[in-house]
A and B are shown apart, each in its own frame.
Chain A
Amino acid sequence: MLREFRMYAVLLRAAMRGQLQYRANIALVTIGGFAYQGVGLAFLWVIVSRFGALGGWSLTDIALLYGMRLTSHGVWAMPSAQVLLIDLAIREGEFDRYLVRPVNPLIQLLTRMFPIQTISDLLGGVIVLTAAASASDVRWAIGTVGFLIAGIIGGALVEFAIYLAVSSLSFRVVQARSPMLVAGTIMQTAGPYPQPIFPSAVRAVLTFVVPVAFIAYLPASALLRRSAEIPYADWLGYAAPAAGLLLALAAYRLWMRQLRHYAGPGN
């Protein structure tokens, strides 16, 4: 296991060095990324300032939720966004090469390139989160801060699990890109919203089918002492980080098993 981490670091550094060649683009892409996140936030801000609350959540509550979602996404994206390009890696013959090296193919896939677009994701997320956290009425101490971090990492792991599981379709079916886009859209759109606004059927789906709720809403609920709002079990919020870990491990095992069906490009 240790060796794998070492290999990951080596490969990631190489990928970063590769991207540094295109410096000007990094700034532009980062700005674009901020714009993307900013708009979502602006929407929520306008709504809540006009209407007072959303689903019973105040502006600071929502900002915390939003910040957690963004940061989680950034934590996922920087090391793992390349999983979205699995179709490309297979089609171009890169994946064949991964299988011929004594290094875990997933690690090689994730480090094939460094996704500079994700810098803004993480940076923006941290900025919003910090602002929201300081404005929020959560009492920040070692316990709560620790849980916040655990919740964010857990959320990143959930996103990782979802994308990884869907990406394994690429081994059996020609394209995983479209299903991944759908999963991404659902996570992106529904992720930063407090679940009480959704009809109960949708809440169930977002909790147990595509576990978006675990990404930010559930841990945020726990922090904001809103666990009573969770219809299934009020400890679900506290379980979110652990759920993330379990889901990620399960997705990884699924991926490795599906690898056996790999048929190479153009078959």
Chain B
Amino acid sequence: MQVRTAMSYRTDYLFSLIGLLVQVFLLTVVWRSVYHGRDTVSGIDLSAQLAYTTIGTVQYWLFSPWTFSIVPERVRTGRIAVDLVRPLPFLGQITAAQVGLTAGVAPFAVLALPIAILIGGAAAPGSVLAGFAYGLSFVLAYCLATLFGAVVGMVAFWTTEVSGFFMLYRMVGQFLAGALVPLWFMPGWLSALAYVFPFQAMNYTPLAIYLGRDHGGRIVVDLGVQVGWLALAAGLLLLVWSRALRRVISQGG
């Protein structure tokens, strides 16, 4: 059902695609400018950086929750009462809704990728292993983004005015996920800070693996970190969910 809803906003997505491509263009222009004839900076050459930007921006666009789950809307319209009758399936429903949304949006990402590459440039994976590991990391990152998105969406149970909070989450998340600046260019303290949060595991990690920046044993560590965050996210979701349930019951719905 969410796929259908996504399709009905076709024009919206098309235009956000334009925004996506404009962003890719701008970022690659900036990178080319700062590299200014230098081939490599910090061990990363220009083509790798451009590939990061190109693939990364499309990837981030695909992952970022469009609507922070269906929860806020349900709470507002009161339909949540019906949903709460079947709690566990409801959790599954939230995630299914998000996945459906992504499925609806995915064709656009597929459409945008070649254009983005045309604008920015791409690179092949660092190695065959890197390619496979990227696939795995990609899936993990997506799950992580979805689950955390659902957790954040739960805030709707406590307040109806959520837009400011979502914006804060989205913006900080975007930055710390390395969607604009890859972690390898951030000053030490900032990239360390980024590791405290799950965001980098949602976007930066798969890209780092893909480009061969993280290789060998490091890949295992990266994947492990993602799994760790995933477990935490799931636990958090269940915790927040039970709290939310309790709150709704105590408030009478």
Interchain CA distance A55-B34 in the complex, whole Å: 7
Is residue B40 within 8 Å, beta carbon to beta carbon, of the partner chain? no
Decide yes or no whether B250 CB sits under 8 A from chain A: no
Are A38 and B30 in contact, CB atoms less than 8 angstroms apart? no
- B172 and A32 form a contact (CB under 8 A): no
In-complex Cβ contact of B181 among A25, A43, A186 (8 A): A43
Known contacts A25-B164, A55-B33; decide if A46 and B187 are in contact (CB<8 Å).
yes
Mask of B150-175 contacts with A, CB within 8 angstroms, 1/0: 00000000000101111110111011
Nearest CB in chain A to that of B166: its residue: A32
**Residue B103 lies at the interface, judged by CB distance under 8 Å to chain A:** no
Determine how close the nearest CB of chain B comes to the CB of A70; give it in whole angstroms. Answer: 15
Task: A50 to B29: give the CA distance in the assembly, Å.
Answer: 16
* CB closest chain-B residue, reference A37: B171
- In the complex, are the beta carbons of A46 and B181 less than 8 A apart? yes
Per-position 1/0 for B18-31, Cβ under 8 A of A? 11001100100110
Contact yes or no, A39 B180, CB < 8 A: yes
Q: Counting CB contacts under 8 A, is A233 at the interface?
A: no
Nearest CB of B to A106, in Å: 25
Nearest to B21 among chain A residues (CB) is: A185
Number of interface residues of A (CB under 8 A): 37
Cβ-based interface call for B186 (8 A): yes
* CB-based contact B11/A178 at 8 Å: yes
A184 closest partner in B (C-beta): B19
Given contacts A28-B161, A39-B175, A46-B186, contact A197 B15 (CB under 8 A): no
B221 within 8 A of A: no
CA distance A32 to B12 in the complex (A): 22
Tell whether, in the assembled complex, residue B185 and residue A199 are in contact, meaning their CB atoms are under 8 Å apart: no
B190 within 8 A of A: yes
| Closest residue of A by beta carbon distance from B32 | A197
Interface: A232 (CB within 8 A)? no
Q: Mark B184-207, 1 if CB is under 8 A from A, else 0.
A: 011100100000000000000000
Contacts of A181 in B (CB 8 A): 15-16, 19
Whether B26 contacts A189 by the Cβ 8 Å rule is yes
Where chain A touches its partner, the secondary structure class is helix
The CA-CA distance from A122 to B171 in the complex, in Å, is: 18
Residue A20 is within 8 A (CB to CB) of chain B in the complex: no
Once bound together, how far apart are the Cα atoms of A202 and B163, in whole Å?
34
B75 to chain A, nearest CB (A): 16
In the complex, whether A31 has a CB less than 8 A from a CB of chain B is yes
A29 within 8 A of B: yes
Distance between Cα atoms of A42 and B177 in the complex (Å): 13
Contact between A32 and B165, CB atoms less than 8 A apart = yes
Contact between B19 and A198, CB atoms less than 8 A apart: no
Q: List the A residue with the shortest CB-CB distance to B161.
A: A25
CB atoms of B22 and A36 under 8 A apart:
no
Contact between chains at B22 and A39 (CB < 8 Å)? no
Please name all residues of chain A whose beta carbon is closer than 8 Å to the beta carbon of B172 when the two chains form the complex: 35, 39
Contacts of B14 in A (CB 8 A): 178
Complex partner residue of B30 from A33, A182, A193, A202, CB under 8 angstroms: A193
Q: Are B167 and A36 in contact (CB under 8 A)?
A: yes
* Interface: A47 (CB within 8 A): yes
A35 near B171 with CB under 8 A, answer: yes
Known: A32-B163, A54-B34. A42 touches B175 (CB 8 A): yes
Task: Chain B residues near A199: list those with CB within 8 A.
Answer: 29
Q: Are A46 and B190 in contact (CB under 8 A)?
A: yes
Which of A27, A189, A199 has the largest number of chain B CB atoms within 10 A?
A: A189
Check A51 for interface membership: any CB of B closer than 8 A.
Answer: yes
- Residues from chain B with a CB closer than 8 A to the CB of A134 are none
Sampled A-B contacts (14; CB under 8 Å): A29-B167, A31-B168, A32-B163, A43-B180, A178-B14, A181-B15, A185-B19, A185-B22, A189-B19, A189-B26, A193-B26, A197-B32, A197-B33, A199-B29
Q: A32-B164, A178-B11 are in contact. List 11 more A-B contacts (CB 8 A).
A: A29-B163, A32-B165, A33-B164, A39-B171, A47-B34, A178-B15, A181-B16, A182-B18, A185-B22, A189-B19, A193-B30
Q: Which 9 A-B pairs have the closest CB atoms?
A: A32-B167, A28-B164, A32-B164, A197-B33, A35-B171, A51-B34, A25-B161, A185-B19, A29-B164
Residues of A at under 8 Å CB distance from B? 22, 24-25, 27-33, 35-36, 38-39, 42-43, 46-47, 49-51, 54-55, 175, 178, 181-182, 185-186, 189-190, 193, 196-199, 202
